Amino acid sequence: MSLRPPSPLAESVPTSPGEFSPEERELLVRLAHQSIESAFEQREISVDPPGPHFAEPRGVFTTLYLQGALRGCVGYVLPTSSLYRAVAETARAAALEDGRFYPVSAEEAPDLKIELSVLSIPKPIDADELEIGRHGLLITLAGRRGLLLPQVPIEHNWDRVTFLEQTCHKAGLPRDAWQKGAQIEAFTAEVFGEKSDSNRL
């Protein structure tokens, strides 16, 4: 099966100073498309990093959009493997294993828009230190964990409290759990990919 090549990269929207060059960004987004395409062609692709920057262990989320709507999002919070491998694995998982959606079909795959969020390591933070637009949130309590990326509160025009409450809700916790013993961790992310009009929940 031959799928159309991905669309050219559109304007990126980083939420932290740019670590990756335009060429590196384009290569990673292309890798994500190739990983999804290979699943339908029942073939493997190389996930050997092509350079030292891609060999660094990093947390990353791959988010998929179809006609402006969220179509899948899967990621690794912690840096458990090389960035290059993590992008390939999370792209395929976002397309086929996000339990909130039916798996992406071969017919849909050529029209997917991809956004990558490369994460820093989450660190404990006090609620009043949280900065909208800079920090993503990870809230944990009693074996439940919720994560929202830094771009989410901007797109929904949330204030700090709403961001905390919504992350608790994502974890399946009471909205005020952040005030009642939940662990609050923050991270930053460099966000880039293909332009789409979308909500990132």
Alpha carbon distance 199, 162 (integer Å): 16
- The 10s digit of each residue's pLDDT in 62-117 is 999 999 999 999 999 989 899 999 999 999 999 999 999 999 999 999 999 999 99
Which superfamily does CATH assign the domain made up of 22-119 to? Answer: Hypothetical protein ph0010; domain 1 (3.30.700.20)
The CATH fold assigned to 123-188 is Dna Ligase; domain 1 (3.30.1490)
Q: What is the pLDDT of residues 86-101, one digit of tens each?
A: 999 999 999 999 999 9
Amino acid identity, position 144:
R
Prediction pTM value: 0.80
| Residue partners of 7: CB distance under 8 A and separation at least 6 | 113, 194
